[in-house]
C-alpha cells in the first residue's frame, strides 16, 4: 500500500457507508484527506474521530450537494484556494432508486444522473490536470455489479453504473503510461445506507441474498489493494465475482428472457 503513504485523497460521499470506510482505512497512511458530502455534521464528526487516533493527518471537510453543478465549481475553487493538491480521487458518492421506472419520482432520477454520472465525470475532468502533474496518481471510480447487466426495477441506477464502468475503462486506456491509474470498483450488495435511500416508501423493501453480501470493510480493503496493484477492475467477494462471470457469459437472447421473468415477478410482488 505504498502509494497511499503521504497521499492527498479526495473522497466523495464520505458521510456514510463505503466513503466513510475509505476515510477510515486511508487515515493511517494518507497525509491529507478531503472528505465531502451534503451532511457536513457527519463529516465533522468523522474528522474529530479520525484526528483522535491520527493526529498527523490533515482532514478537510466540505459540505456539498454534488447534484448542483455550480456547487461543484465552488468546491473546485475552494480546493485551489486551500492549496490542496489531490493525487488520489475517489469518486464514491452515489445513490439508487428501487422500483418501476414509470412510477419513479423524476427529481430522484435526475439526482441519480447528476451525482452518479455528471458529478463523477466533472470532478474527474477538472482534476485530471492536477492528477497528471504527479509522477503517480490514481482515480478510483465506484461503480456496481449492477453495471454489468440491465436490472429491472433498478433500471436507471444500473445504467448509470454501466456508464461509470465504461467511462473508467476507456479513461484508463487513454491514461496508460501517464502515471495516472484508473480502477473501477464493482461491489455487489453491501449493508450501508444505500438500501434505505434507494427504497421508495410504497415499494417492497429491496432485499439481496445474504450469500452475496460482504462488509464495507472488505469492499474497501479489496478496492485499495486493487488501486495499489494498478488493477483495472475489482469485484469484491468470491460469490459476486463468480456470479458476474456467469452473467456476462450468458448470451443476450437468454439474458432478455431472464430479465422478462424477473420484471414480471417484481410486478406481481408490488
Ligand atoms: N451499498 C451497496 O450495496 C452498493 C453496491 C454497489 C455499489 N455501491 C455504490 O457505492 C457508493 C457508495 O454507496 P454506499 O453503499 O456507501 O451508500 P450510502 O451509505 O448511502 O452512502 C452514499 C454517500 O453518497 C453521498 N451522496 C449521495 N447523494 C449525494 C449528493 N447529492 N451530494 C453529495 N453527496 C451525496 C452521501 O452523503 P450525503 O447524503 O451526506 O450527501 C453518502 O455519503 C455509491 O456510488 C453506490 O452506488 C453501493
Q: How far apart are CA 29 and CA 253, in angstroms?
A: 48
Q: State the CATH number of the domain containing residue 88.
A: 3.40.50.720
Q: Provide the number of structural domains found in the chain.
A: 1
- Identify the burial level of 77 via C-beta atoms within 10 angstroms of its C-beta, where 0-12 means exposed, 13-18 middle and 19 or more buried: exposed
* Arithmetic mean of pLDDT, 23-47: 98
237 lines ligand 1 (CB under 6 A): no
Ligand 1 closest atom vs CA 15: 43
Residue 185 CA: nearest ligand 1 atom is 7
- Name the residue range of residue 28's domain: 2-269
Q: What is the mean pLDDT of residues 227-247?
A: 96
- Name the band, by pLDDT with cuts 50, 70 and 90, for residue 206: low
Which atom belonging to ligand 1 lies closest to the Cα atom of 43? Answer: 40
Taking the centre of ligand 1 as the mean of its atom positions, its distance from the CA of residue 168, in whole angstroms, is 18
What is the distance in A from the centroid of ligand 1 to the CA of 93?
A: 4
Q: Is 236 in the pocket of ligand 1 (CB under 6 A)?
A: no
Three-class secondary structure of residue 204 per DSSP: coil
Taking the centre of ligand 1 as the mean of its atom positions, its distance from the CA of residue 17, in whole angstroms, is 7
Range from 68-77, 141-150, 226-235, 259-268 carrying the lowest mean pLDDT? 259-268
pLDDT at position 182? 98
Full strand arrangement of the beta sheet holding 137-142: 58-63, 32-37, 8-12, 88-91, 137-142, 180-185, 233-234
User: What per-residue confidence (pLDDT) applies to 159?
Assistant: 98
The Cα–Cα gap between 168 and 233 comes to 9
Does residue 220 have its Cβ closer than 6 Å to ligand 1? no
Tell the residue nearest (CA) to atom 34 of ligand 1.
37
pLDDT of residue 2: 84
Supply the pLDDT for residue 203: 56
pLDDT tens-digit readout, 82-133: 999 999 999 999 999 999 999 999 999 999 999 999 999 999 999 999 999 9
Ligand 1 atom nearest to 65, measured from its CA: 32
Tell me, using a 6 A CB cutoff, whether residue 141 lines ligand 1. Answer: no
Taking every pair of Cα atoms in the chain, the longest distance, rounded to a whole number of angstroms, is 57
pLDDT of residue 171: 98
Q: Mark whether 157 is an active-site residue.
A: yes
Each residue of 144-197: pLDDT tens digit? 999 999 999 999 999 999 999 999 999 999 999 999 999 999 999 999 999 999
In this prediction, residue 266 carries a pLDDT of: 87
- Give yes or no for residue 54 CB within 6 A of ligand 1: no
- Cα 150 to Cα 8, 58, 178: the distances in Å are 35, 41, 33
Comparing 157-166, 167-176, 221-230, 257-266, which segment has the lowest mean pLDDT? 257-266
Binding site membership of 152 for ligand 1 (Cβ less than 6 Å): no
Q: Is the CB of 92 under 6 A from ligand 1?
A: yes
The predicted model gives 59-73 an average pLDDT of 98
> Taking all residues of the chain, what is their mean pLDDT, rounded to a whole number?
96
Alpha-carbon gap, residue 219 to 56, rounded angstroms: 26
Report CA torsion sign: 158, 190, 193, 206. Answer: positive
Amino acid at each position: 500500500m505504498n502509494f497511499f503513504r503521504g497521499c492527498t485523497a479526495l473522497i466523495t460521499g464520505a458521510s456514510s457507508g463505503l466513503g466513510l470506510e475509505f476515510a477510515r482505512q486511508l487515515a493511517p497512511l494518507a497525509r491529507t484527506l478531503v472528505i465531502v458530502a451534503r451532511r457536513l455534521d457527519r463529516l465533522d464528526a468523522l474528522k474529530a474521530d479520525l484526528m483522535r487516533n491520527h493526529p498527523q493527518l490533515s482532514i478537510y471537510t466540505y459540505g456539498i450537494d454534488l447534484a448542483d453543478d455550480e456547487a461543484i465549481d465552488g468546491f473546485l475553487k475552494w480546493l485551489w484556494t486551500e492549496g490542496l493538491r489531490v493525487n488520489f480521487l475517489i469518486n464514491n458518492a452515489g445513490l439508487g432508486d428501487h422500483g418501476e421506472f414509470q412510477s419513479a419520482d423524476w427529481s430522484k432520477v435526475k439526482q441519480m444522473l447528476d451525482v452518479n454520472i455528471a458529478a463523477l465525470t466533472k470532478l474527474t475532468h477538472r482534476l485530471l490536470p492536477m492528477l497528471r502533474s504527479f509522477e503517480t496518481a490514481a482515480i478510483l471510480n465506484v461503480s456496481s455489479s449492477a453495471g454489468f447487466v440491465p436490472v429491472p426495477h433498478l433500471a436507471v441506477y444500473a445504467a448509470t453504473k454501466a456508464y461509470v464502468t465504461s467511462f473508467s475503462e476507456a479513461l484508463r486506456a487513454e491514461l496508460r503510461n501517464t502515471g495516472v491509474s484508473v480502477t473501477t470498483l464493482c461491489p455487489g450488495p453491501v449493508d450501508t445506507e444505500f438500501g434505505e435511500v434507494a427504497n421508495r416508501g410504497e415499494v417492497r423493501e429491496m432485499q439481496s441474498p445474504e450469500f452475496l453480501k460482504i462488509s464495507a470493510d472488505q469492499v474497501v480493503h479489496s478496492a485499495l489493494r486493487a488501486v495499489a496493484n494498478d488493477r483495472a477492475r475489482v469485484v469484491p467477494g468470491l460469490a459476486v465475482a463468480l456470479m458476474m462471470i456467469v452473467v456476462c457469459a450468458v448470451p443476450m437472447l437468454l439474458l432478455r428472457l431472464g430479465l422478462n421473468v424477473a420484471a414480471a415477478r417484481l410486478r406481481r410482488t408490488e
